[in-house]
């Protein structure tokens, strides 16, 4: 659902941008805990199998069927142990990839926040997720308060904004539009709105350039 229609500015602390490093850490801890449980269960099963082998060896007339079953269990546990080791390697590689990706994301965000022009990130429905310092100054609200608000709440030409978003969704290439930015207790300002979507990004970027009076 596209949420471009103008709505009053309200504080929405629950809709602040997600703390990606924290989420990545929680996910890694969950994977580590799961692997540790699997390793523990495997070790326990190997111990019980060893007890079973000793008990079977002490029998005066051991059963051929039981011996075969024990051998099959032993083989299965060896394969499970190898799978555990491979899973550990895979999780370590995944953690390294995520850490690298997270560092790149932080670098991009730092660059955007350092830009002297206003930059706003929205989802495909036009809901603001993040904003740099220049955008908070332009829109007269903190990034915390902007999160969760529709971008259309700050643009007078609702249909122009809607058409711009539709074109960006369809073509995927940067697109420009002339809009009037409105904010509480501030004079309307003519701006050039440039929308873009980066590769491997789920959010849309909106740059707001002042136009000559």
Inter-residue contact 176 to 167 (CB < 8 Å): no
Note the pLDDT of residue 193.
94
Note the pLDDT of residue 26.
60
Global pTM? 0.54
Per residue in 76-131, pLDDT tens?
777 777 777 887 787 777 777 766 666 666 777 787 778 889 999 999 888 999 99
Inter-residue contact 2 to 165 (CB < 8 Å): yes
* 3-state DSSP helix/strand/coil % of the chain, to nearest 5: 55, 15, 25
Q: What is the DSSP letter of 200?
A: T
Inter-residue contact 207 to 119 (CB < 8 Å): yes
Inter-residue contact 152 to 195 (CB < 8 Å): no
**Interatomic CA distance for residues 33 and 41, integer angstroms:** 12
Inter-residue contact 181 to 45 (CB < 8 Å): no
User: Mean pLDDT throughout 143-172?
Assistant: 90
Note the pLDDT of residue 50.
74
Handedness of CA 103, 138, 185, 10 (dihedral sign): negative
Q: Which residues pair with 179 in a beta bridge?
A: 191
Using a pLDDT cut of 70, give the percent of the chain over it. Answer: 74
User: Mean pLDDT throughout 71-78?
Assistant: 77
């Amino acid at each position: 659902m596209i949420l471009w229609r103008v709505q009053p500015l309200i504080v929405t602390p629950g809709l602040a941008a997600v703390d990606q490093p924290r989420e990545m850490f929680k996910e890694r801890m969950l994977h580590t805990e799961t692997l540790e449980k699997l390793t523990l269960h495997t070790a326990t099963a190997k111990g019980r199998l060893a007890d079973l082998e000793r008990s079977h060896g002490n029998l005066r007339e051991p059963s051929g069927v039981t011996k075969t079953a024990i051998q099959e269990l032993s083989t299965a546990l060896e394969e499970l142990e190898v799978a555990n080791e491979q899973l550990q390697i895979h999780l370590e590689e995944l953690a390294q990839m995520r850490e690298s990706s997270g560092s790149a994301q932080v670098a991009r965000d730092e660059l955007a926040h350092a830009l002297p022009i206003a930059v706003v990130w929205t989802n495909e429905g036009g809901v603001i997720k993040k904003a740099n310092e220049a955008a908070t100054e332009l829109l007269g609200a903190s990034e915390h308060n902007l999160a969760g608000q529709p971008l259309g709440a700050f643009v007078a030409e609702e249909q122009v904004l809607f058409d711009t978003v539709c074109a960006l969704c369809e073509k995927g290439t940067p697109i420009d539009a002339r809009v009037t930015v409105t904010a509480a207790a501030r004079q309307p300002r003519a701006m050039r709105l440039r929308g873009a979507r980066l590769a491997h990004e789920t959010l849309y970027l909106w740059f707001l350039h002042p136009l000559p009076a």
